[in-house]
Amino acid sequence: MTGKQRRAVILAEIKALGPVLPGSIVERSTRCQRAGCHCHADPPHLHGPYATWMRQEGGRQVTKTLSDDEAQRLRPLIAADRRLRALVAELEAMTVTEVVNHQLIAPQAVGTQTTKAGKRPTKGR
């Protein structure tokens, strides 16, 4: 498969994805606010586990406890988002390879980018 063909396959899959939901669903056990509840006992007997939707929004973590039905409904949407991100990453990687291999930029420009990203301190430049 050529790069052009692979790109067409990826774009077709993205088109067919449907709704995409960021974040993840994790099972969490929690403590409540009630004094004397078994969740504060020694040893503690926590509430749950409950399915919880966690996502980043504006740089902070947002969590929402879900019913089993809700969790079941959201899981495919989150899986679709994962797939979308993987496909976008593949598109990006293909383009990076093309840009480098076809010498659309000078080789030393790639090194400059790496340095700017803060992986290595800029020394002797």
| Contact residues: Zn ion, CB under 5 A | 32, 37, 39
As measured in angstroms, the least distance from the Cβ of 21 to Zn ion is: 29
In the complex, the smallest distance separating the C-beta of residue 52 from Zn ion, rounded to whole angstroms, is 16
* Least distance (Å) between residue 70 CB and Zn ion: 22
Closer of 31 and 120 to Zn ion (Cβ)? 31
Q: Which helix (H) or strand (E) holds 101?
A: helix 68-101
Q: How far apart are CA 80 and CA 25, in angstroms?
A: 13
CB atoms within 10 A of CB 51: 20
Q: Closer CB to Zn ion, residue 39 or residue 77?
A: 39
Query: What share of residues in the chain are helix, strand, coil (percent, to 5)?
Result: 50, 20, 30
For the CB of residue 48, give the shortest distance to Zn ion in the complex, in Å. Answer: 10
Question: Closest CB to Zn ion among 12 and 35?
Answer: 35
Nearest to 25 by CA among 52, 50, 63: 52
Cis peptide before 19 (omega within 30 of 0): no
Rank residues 28 and 83 by Cβ distance to Zn ion and give the closer one. Answer: 28
Give the type of residue at 36: G
